[in-house]
Structure 1
Amino acid sequence: METLDKTYWEERYKSDDVAWDTGSITPPIKQYIDQLTDKNARILVPGAGNGHEFAYLAENGFENATVLDIAETPLKNIAARLPHLTAERLINADFFEHYGTYNLIIEQTFFCALPPALRQNYVTKMHSLLAPGGKLAGLLFDFELTEQGPPFGGSREEYVNLFAPLFKINMLHRAYNSIKRREGKELFFIFEKK
């Protein structure tokens, strides 16, 4: 398997080899954000790529939303689309080396882009970044986990086993409003920090 490091992701964005990029916020996450009422919540969108979810948050008054990506190119793309943003809201860093405290973290194709060996590290890091009672919410893929990826798949059972020790599983069900090419392959979830 290729090394999925900063260079790998930078090359994917520079060559526009980003088949996962939907071009806009996906309906399940849009619907979730639309029911959020605390515009002051500290929100992180990690591994966000071109950051459609982050852009939606920024455009809808969530002043404390931050985006993080290991590759610089997608952050430059976001900055070009949203020139009013301050640089502090665009973090170019390795997620596992990032420190902060957030009320909400949005998951959109970040988990599935990581080598499966890092999944336990992901869960532990997410837990450490959330404030007490903070939530991790978004989409996880529901298809067989193979060595081929990214994206790497997974199952509901695997996610429960991974997250339940550190998170209360508030919701984990098949997304009913996925985009066409992801129909039947996404689980919408809300996990709350224990």
Structure 2
Amino acid sequence: MDTFLNDEYWSQRYQNKQTGWDIGEVSTPLKAYFDQLADTSVSILIPGCGNSYEAEYLLAKGFQNITLIDISAVLVERLTEKLQFYIEKGSCKVIHQDFFAHHGQYDLIIEQTFLSAIPPTLRPDYAKQMYQLLKPHGKLVGVIFGINFEGGPPFGGTPEEYLPLFEPYFIPVVFEQCYNSILPRAGNELFVRLDRR
């Protein structure tokens, strides 16, 4: 299980271009959500950020307070180079860290394939950590897989499995199948907006 949580495993996957989860652009359900956000000063965390197309999109729209975390040193080095302009400007931070060791307070946390990268046994810790990282009235928003996979990662699940994990900490405002997934993921994604209790 620990294999999926270490730097070596994920860095090797990036080095070998074994990144089947990477769609090469901002996810369409998240893009639609971002396009209705008006306050560009909100503090945003993207854990397990991957290649951070979502962050690039938000930064290009003028968002000023984005923090990216990933456990892969290889990826963090690439992102630091790619996002150097925004890092120097102070609108973006890229941190090499285990999500479960992170401390901070955010208005909004974006979920995009991160939940599917961690073993299901850690999902209760994931929900609790998300709660602790959000400010009062903060939101956890994103896209999670609504199907099960053999083996893993990715690790999938169903709404019936996910909801009990989140309900102690969050009010599920939206928890439904995405209507605007990219074609290869159509019918397999859930859009979630969870408001911190």
Please indicate the TM-score interval, normalised by the length of the shorter structure. Answer: over 0.9
SS in structure 2 opposite 1:85?
helix
Residue among 174, 177, 182 paired with 2:177:
174
Match of 2:3 in 1: 3
**Structure 1's 131 and 72: CA in aligned 2 closer, same or farther, altered over 3 A?**
same
TM-score (norm 1): 0.95
Unpaired runs of 5+ in structure 2? none
The share of aligned pairs that are identical, in percent, is 43
Moved more, 10-19 or 101-110: 10-19
2:136 is the counterpart of 1:132: yes
How far is 1:160 from its partner? 1.1
How far is 1:78 from its partner? 2.3
Match of 1:123 in 2: 127
Q: Report the number of matched residues.
A: 193
Match of 1:99 in 2: 103
Match of 1:12 in 2: 13
How far is 1:2 from its partner? 7.1
SS in structure 2 opposite 1:86?
helix
Root-mean-square deviation (CA, aligned residues, Å) is 1.4
How far is 1:57 from its partner? 1.2
Moved more, 113-122 or 48-57: 48-57
For residues 105-116 of structure 1, the aligned pairs below 5 Å read: 105-116=109-120
Cα distance in 2 between the residues matched to 1:85 and 1:15: 27
Deviations 1:98-137, CA, capped at 9 Å, x for gaps: 0000000000000010011100000000000000000000
Aligned 8 A contact 1:44 1:106 in 2: yes
Match of 1:22 in 2: 23
Q: What letter corresponds to residue 182 of structure 1 in structure 2?
A: R
Moved more, 79-88 or 121-130: 79-88
For residues 41-80 of structure 1, the aligned pairs below 5 Å read: 41-80=42-81
SS in structure 1 opposite 2:194?
strand
How far is 1:85 from its partner? 2.3
Aligned 8 A contact 1:50 1:75 in 2: no
Unpaired runs of 5+ in structure 1? none
Cα distance in 1 between the residues matched to 2:157 and 2:84: 37
Q: What letter corresponds to residue 48 of structure 1 in structure 2?
A: C
Residue among 131, 156, 160 paired with 2:159:
156
Deviations 1:35-94, CA, capped at 9 Å, x for gaps: 111111000000011111111111111110111100122223323333302276101100
Q: What letter corresponds to residue 163 of structure 2 in structure 1?
A: V
How far is 1:169 from its partner? 0.4
TM-score (norm 2): 0.94
How far is 1:144 from its partner? 2.1
